[in-house]
Structure 1
Amino acid sequence: MKWVRIIFQMVILYVFSFIGTTIVNLLGVKFPGSIVGLLILLALLLSKIMPVSLIEEGAGFMLAILPLFFVPATVGVINYPELLSLHGILLLLTVIASTICTIIISGRICKIIEKKEKLETKELKEVVK
């Protein structure tokens, strides 16, 4: 039963990706449709129209198998040894720098969210008293 729920949740995530792609195609915008779908999903989650529990296990499963999606890219690099030359080093430095920036920005956003949640919890406790 757990696997059926996970597959259903993954289908929900795919539907959002499909909706985003459809919107991008209809508008003729040069922007990834999957990102638009994720932004729609984010808006629904933040507005609490859609509960997180509706996609939580499916998203967790997809994150768990995410490294498998990088295997073809790694094999592709092996097929192009010129990527390991000066251009490859520059590419590697760019990837490392962007990863560090992503980690820093994500960490700061998490801190902001955590402070906001602590403040809300504190205010709620004061109201209860």
Structure 2
Amino acid sequence: MKFILQLFFIWLIYAVSDLVVSFLDLPIPASVFGMILLFLMLVSGVVKVQYIEKATTFLNKHLSFFFIPFAVGLMNYGGLIKASGVQLLIMIIVSSAIGLLMTSGLTQFLARRVASKHEHKHEQSNFH
């Protein structure tokens, strides 16, 4: 029952984000807006990880299953892929590299920031 409630809560966040995006006519997909909304709720502490942990673990475990419709849909665009395959491949590689570099840079920045906070606290405790 807990799993169903968590799944419903995640769906509810998506439904609310869909309404907000439609109402405000935002140029962003409702699913992306929903992820941002969920992230902000997690960071602010409004939503605790344990409220959604079982459902998100299940969804992440079966993530590849959700790409099957996308892969099947690509079969309809064989001509486009054949004509522009090299350009598409270059765009995929470049955008993936940018995403990886941004993620690694942000991770390193945050790790250094946390380390400096711990170091600063340690220095203050040794000073007194």
Matched residue type, 2:87? L
**Is 1:6 matched up with 2:3?**
yes
Secondary structure of the structure 2 residue equivalent to 1:29: coil
Match of 2:25 in 1: 28
Residues 50 and 100 (structure 1 numbering): CA distance in 2 closer, same or farther, change over 3 Å? same
**Is 1:56 matched up with 2:53?**
yes
Match of 2:35 in 1: 38
Measured against aligned partners, the alpha-carbon deviations of 1:69-121 in whole angstroms (never above 9, x if no partner) come to 22222222234321332312211221122112111111111112222232333
CA RMSD of aligned residues (A): 2.3
Structure 1, unaligned runs of 5 or more? none
With normalisation by structure 2, the TM-score equals 0.79
Residues 107 and 71 (structure 1 numbering): CA distance in 2 closer, same or farther, change over 3 Å? same
**Is 1:69 matched up with 2:82?**
no
Structure 2, unaligned runs of 5 or more? none
Number of equivalent positions = 126
Sequence identity percentage: 23
